[in-house]
Amino acid sequence: MNAPKTIPFNQVRPVGREYQYMQEAVDLHHLSSGGRFAGQCEEWLERRLGTPRAILTHTCTHALELACLAIDLKPGDEVIMPSFAFVTAATAIALRGAVPVFVDISPDSLTLHPDTVARAITDRTKAVIVIHYAGYGAWVDGLREVCDRNGIHLIEDAAQAIDSSYLGRPLGTFGHLATLSFHETKNLIAGEGGALLINDAALIDRIEIMAEKGTDRAQFLQGRVEKYVWQDLGSSVRMGELPAAYLFAQFEEADHVFGYRRELWRRYHAGLTPMANEKGLSLPRHIPDSSGNAHLFYVLTRDRAHRDRLLSHLADHGVQSVFHYVPLHSSPAGQKFGRAHGPLTVTDQVADTLLRLPLYHSLSFDDVARVVEAVAAFEPPERDAP
């Protein structure tokens, strides 16, 4: 008997007119940045999210680096951020000579709480970077209030959170700046790609210069200056036309993609809820007034041994599942370039117990049922005696 096909953790497939638009980009003989498709993508983001300016970047990493450059981070400055995070936000801080200050996350949201952030602020604090984990936001209005009260910037790392909202308002529009990711593991993809959302209009002109290698080329193309010259620090961060063409086709199908992913998420939740206690699992949770985009579906186990046993069991049943971040405060670079503020108990526990299940646009409802059946067949380890 043939073994069932493996359900991969992620799978990349086009959803619309990706090939057609990429061919059009080639036929237009413009493959560098600043082309038609990049412009259409930026306009789509501005219209969809209500942000004053969106700039497409090669990656979300570039967007984070541009944000840190734009707020004039300098050696000795500090930026508060969660330790339960991908490395790129911390690297963007450290590249400016500033210090990432790692604080614990809330068990209700797996991201920052305003009270925790407020206790970590010092006279060196220049900004806060909040990461909207799993496509859900948390108390971002409170975080903005804390930042405004202390005269510091709020940057939203909304890499996982396009089309998510809090209090009915799109995530990515609360901070002075925000970043998005269009990596192939995200809801809408360009292979590699990102965007910087500029919500503080006073920063737009300077960031336009920084995004054009430090020159006023954008103003030159708009006829606002006679020639463009080196004006400021900057880098080559803007997305080229081939990935922008692919991305615009994804944007055209965004409502379908988001709707389908939310249905996959709902089926996971409905299928796993009746057995969660029996299997020793906790399902995703989020605070009221936060609406997610079904970026990922995770479960939390009792401890690391439990998580590792479930991971191996799912692999034996043809399901590829993965854990997530190694806490930054415990990493070699995190200890070299950053510092921890207070205990990070929740961070360490979540890092040891979180497991992500497959969720992507070409996943079928039958695939979700197979994953749920595999979890149902799992025998959790016995609890240690008290």
Q: What is the pLDDT of residue 221?
A: 79
Instruction: Report how far residue 367's alpha carbon sits from residue 359's, in angstroms, rounded to the nearest whole number.
Output: 10
138 in Cβ contact with 166 (< 8 Å): yes
Angle at 240 between CA 239 and CA 243, to 5 degrees: 85
What the block records as the tokens of 209 is 């210069």
Contacts 24+ apart (CB under 8 A), 268-277: 268/297, 268/357, 268/359, 268/368, 268/371, 268/372, 269/297, 271/368, 271/369, 271/372, 272/299, 272/372, 272/375, 275/375, 275/376
Q: What is the CA radius of gyration of the chain?
A: 22
153 in Cβ contact with 207 (< 8 Å): no
- Helix, strand, or coil (residue 234): coil
For the chain, what are the domain ranges? 18-252, 254-376
Please write down the HEC assignment for all residues of 161-173.
CCCCEECCEECCC
Q: What is the pLDDT of residue 172?
A: 98
At residue 145, φ and ψ (nearest 5 deg) are: -65, -45
Instruction: Report how far residue 338's alpha carbon sits from residue 100's, in angstroms, rounded to the nearest whole number.
Output: 5
SS3 content of the chain, % helix, strand, coil (to 5): 40, 15, 40
Instruction: Name the one residue in this structure whose structure tokens are 């463009």.
Output: 228
What the block records as the tokens of 36 is 């038609």
What CATH number does domain 18-252 carry, 3.90.1150.10, 3.40.640.10, 3.30.750.24, 2.60.120.620?
A: 3.40.640.10
Q: Strands, DSSP E only, in 316-385? A: 339-340, 354-357
DSSP letter assigned to residue 237? -
Instruction: Report how far residue 45's alpha carbon sits from residue 56's, in angstroms, rounded to the nearest whole number.
Output: 10
Domain 254-376 has CATH 2.40.30.170: no
Q: What is the pLDDT of residue 3?
A: 64
Task: Tell how far CA 80 is from the center of its chain.
Answer: 17
Q: pLDDT tens, position by position, for the chain (386 residues)?
A: 466 799 999 999 999 999 999 999 999 999 999 999 999 999 999 999 999 999 999 999 999 999 999 999 999 999 999 999 999 999 999 999 999 999 999 999 999 999 999 999 999 999 999 999 999 998 999 999 999 999 999 999 999 999 999 999 999 999 999 999 999 999 999 999 999 999 999 999 999 999 999 998 888 878 888 888 999 999 999 999 999 999 999 999 999 999 999 999 999 999 999 999 999 999 998 999 999 999 999 999 999 999 999 999 999 999 999 999 999 999 999 999 999 999 999 999 999 999 999 999 999 999 999 999 999 999 998 764 33
Q: How much is the pTM?
A: 0.95
Instruction: Report how far residue 7's alpha carbon sits from residue 178's, in angstroms, rounded to the nearest whole number.
Output: 33
Instruction: Name the one residue in this structure whose structure tokens are 């970043």.
Output: 179
Q: What is the pLDDT of residue 386?
A: 39
DSSP letter assigned to residue 137? -
**What is the Cβ-side half-sphere exposure of residue 311, based on CA atoms within 13 angstroms?**
19
